[in-house]
Amino acid sequence: MRKQFRYLSFLFVIILYSCSNTRKLAHSDNGKIDVNFVLINDVYEIAPLEGGKTGGMARVATVKKELLQKNPNTYMVMAGDFLSPSVYNSLKFEGSRIRGRQMVEAMNDAGVDLAIFGNHEFDINENELLSRINESKFKWISSNTFHQTANGVLSFAKSLAGTAEPFAKTYIMTVRDADGTTARIGFMGLTLPFNNAGYVNYTDLFATAQTCYNQLKDSCDAVVAITHQLMEDDSLLALKIPGLALILGGHEHDMRYGKVGNVIITKAHANARSAYIITLELNKINHQVKVSTRLQMINDQIAADSLTDAGVKKWMSIGEKNYAALGFDARKVVMANGDPLDGRESMIRTQTTNFTKLIVQAMKQASPESNLVLINSGSIRVDDILQMPVTQYDIIRSLPFGGSIMEVDMKGSLLLRIMAASLKNKGIGGFLQYSPELVNVSGTGNWSLHGNPIDPDKVYKIALTDFLMTGGEANMDFLKKDNPEIIKIYPTHTDVTDARSDIRLAIIKYIAGLKP
């Protein structure tokens, strides 16, 4: 009996100890969990810029890997615009136009986890976009942007081993930390309906966002919107859906931060000059979400991730071989000193800058017999300020579409019509840059050249970008080779020794002749 009592007592102690230990394990979960996001947006360059000083996807990869060592719940987000515009898009590799292939590979190597469409993803054609999607290893979220097909409107999809994996309209990520705390974060991906490519269909952005939020809010600890739209629309989204934890945005290129109510909005500098590091601090006990942010400049103080860097160098080599065939030496410095060249869209689509003046002067030097030079601001796609030293590659990427300088004789009446359209296009790519000798006579709608009014019946020799002659510019569909007011079209120059063969060669040649 005594032995049985001792045995029962011993068993009781073991059970008590086990229960106590179980309670300790259960209570080790503190109900708190942190999640990091590394946000980049509007990235068109895989390699560092400004002589290697800023940017670079290999450096962004390092930032993510260092954060991952401290917190496994770290994710990289691309908030749209990465397939276009890019200087690589006009180049060829393995028989096909590259069309963003270099960017997808760099994103795969760098460890991008989530991506959404930007408006420029639809600059490339449908099959090219589908190829890039299939090459991607990251997850796409597309809440209001869909694939317009012959069979109707469908979700864009990634093809895996012949099986289509439709893009998620909403996505729930489950995260867990070392002490066992788990949380669910809901995502939506929203893109402004700007690019009207025939294979794209949009739903109303704000109505879609509200529907997505309603679907996510009751089953998630936090809801995050990844967006590609104007900052004012992000602010409006935060007003309409105040329960959002965070808006990870893109579209502007100059870094943005805002707070509307409790909703924080972040956007990094374009071309990975910076990355926003955002931490969601989730408290499962009191159901509170705290957001902290830090802007991480991406510069030469950050080591390059070796895997990503190897891929970047591969594509740089491919690019340089293409440029050489076109007559360029991409790494050669063309301007070592001087004021930075302003190519920001917000400036060049409304006025002249030192960069647009340089381009116009270069075109005039290439076509000295012309009376006037015209270039659409949309040809200049760098949307940035070029810092010294400026290389040939900087000129190439500033005007990624290239194209020849055409020379045509046209009547003054057509020239007046073109300039009226340019004024109508102020603020968009169809706003023209032109020779300073051409002056708009304020308040009259008339124009003068060298102090003389444009004569509608007089013939003027005009040097202009070849794209303008396609009728493809906004409000200039009349500007085509068969326009009866075009009297003569001069032969197109294709020899790379002639600066008119490529506007970028004309700029490089002009800069070379400037006094240091």
Is there a single domain that holds both residue 300 and residue 334?
A: no
CA distances from 397 to 292, 311, 384, 499 (A): 35, 19, 11, 17
Largest CA-CA distance found in the chain, in angstroms, rounded: 126
Q: Region 177-182: what's the mean pLDDT? A: 95
Q: Kindly report, residue by residue over 204-241, the tens digit of the pLDDT.
A: 999 999 999 999 999 999 999 999 999 999 999 999 99
Looking at residue 377, its pLDDT comes to: 96
Question: Does residue 373 sit within a domain?
Answer: yes
Any idea what the CATH number is for the domain that residue 280 is in?
3.60.21.10
Pairing mode of beta strands 372-376, 459-465 = parallel
Place of tokens 């004021």: 339
Q: How confident is the model at residue 6 (pLDDT cuts 50, 70, 90)?
A: low
Is there a single domain that holds both residue 254 and residue 381?
A: no
- Local structure of residue 378 (DSSP, 8 states): G
Question: Does residue 2 sit within a domain?
Answer: no
* CA angle, 390 then 392 then 396, to 5°: 110
Question: Does residue 315 sit within a domain?
Answer: no
Question: Does residue 324 sit within a domain?
Answer: no
Any idea what the CATH number is for the domain that residue 395 is in?
3.90.780.10
Burial of 206 (0-12, 13-18, 19+ CB in 10 A): middle
Is there a single domain that holds both residue 223 and residue 355?
A: no
Q: How confident is the model at residue 253 (pLDDT cuts 50, 70, 90)?
A: confident
Is there a single domain that holds both residue 303 and residue 403?
A: no
Question: Does residue 109 sit within a domain?
Answer: yes
Looking at residue 27, its pLDDT comes to: 53
Residue 17 has pLDDT above 80, yes or no: no
DSSP track, 105-131: HHHHHHTEEEE---GGGGGS-HHHHHH
Looking at residue 162, its pLDDT comes to: 81
* Rounded percentage of the chain residues whose pLDDT exceeds 70: 94
- Choose between 496 and 247: higher pLDDT: 247
Continuous segment of H or E residues that includes residue 297: strand 288-297
Task: Please say which residue of 308, 341, 368 terminates a domain.
Answer: 308
Q: Give the dihedral sign, CA 392/393/397/398.
A: negative
What's the structural domain count of the chain? 2
Is there a single domain that holds both residue 178 and residue 291?
A: yes
Is there a single domain that holds both residue 75 and residue 171?
A: yes
**Please, what is the average pLDDT of the chain?**
92
Q: How confident is the model at residue 45 (pLDDT cuts 50, 70, 90)?
A: very high
Is there a single domain that holds both residue 85 and residue 165?
A: yes
Q: Kindly report, residue by residue over 266-311, the tens digit of the pLDDT.
A: 999 999 999 999 999 999 999 999 999 999 999 999 999 999 999 9
What is the 3 state secondary structure string of 383-395? CCEECCCEEHHHH
- Helix 101-110 / helix 57-70 crossing angle, nearest 10 deg: 20
Residue 195 has pLDDT above 50, yes or no: yes
Residue 489 has pLDDT above 60, yes or no: yes
Is there a single domain that holds both residue 176 and residue 147?
A: yes
Task: Please say which residue of 308, 342, 377 terminates a domain.
Answer: 308
Average the pLDDT over each of 4-13, 273-282, 435-444, 504-513 and give the range with the smallest value: 4-13
Is there a single domain that holds both residue 251 and residue 355?
A: no
CA distances from 329 to 313, 322, 392, 493 (A): 16, 10, 6, 20
Q: How confident is the model at residue 26 (pLDDT cuts 50, 70, 90)?
A: very low
Question: Does residue 415 sit within a domain?
Answer: yes
Is there a single domain that holds both residue 386 and residue 238?
A: no
Q: How confident is the model at residue 89 (pLDDT cuts 50, 70, 90)?
A: confident
- Helix 101-110 / helix 126-135 crossing angle, nearest 10 deg: 20
Task: Please say which residue of 308, 342, 358 terminates a domain.
Answer: 308
Looking at residue 234, its pLDDT comes to: 98
Q: Region 496-513: what's the mean pLDDT? A: 94
Is there a single domain that holds both residue 349 and residue 265?
A: no
Looking at residue 20, its pLDDT comes to: 43
Q: Which domain holds residue 33?
A: 29-308
- Local structure of residue 283 (DSSP, 8 states): E
Place of tokens 């169809």: 430
Q: Region 26-36: what's the mean pLDDT? A: 85
* Rounded percentage of the chain residues whose pLDDT exceeds 90: 84
Cβ-proximal residues to 220 (8 Å cutoff; 6+ apart), any chain = 172, 184, 185, 186
Q: How confident is the model at residue 192 (pLDDT cuts 50, 70, 90)?
A: very high
Q: How confident is the model at residue 67 (pLDDT cuts 50, 70, 90)?
A: very high
Question: Does residue 334 sit within a domain?
Answer: yes
Give the global pTM.
0.84
Is there a single domain that holds both residue 286 and residue 385?
A: no
Measured distance CA(33)–CA(38) in Å, rounded: 17
Question: Does residue 237 sit within a domain?
Answer: yes
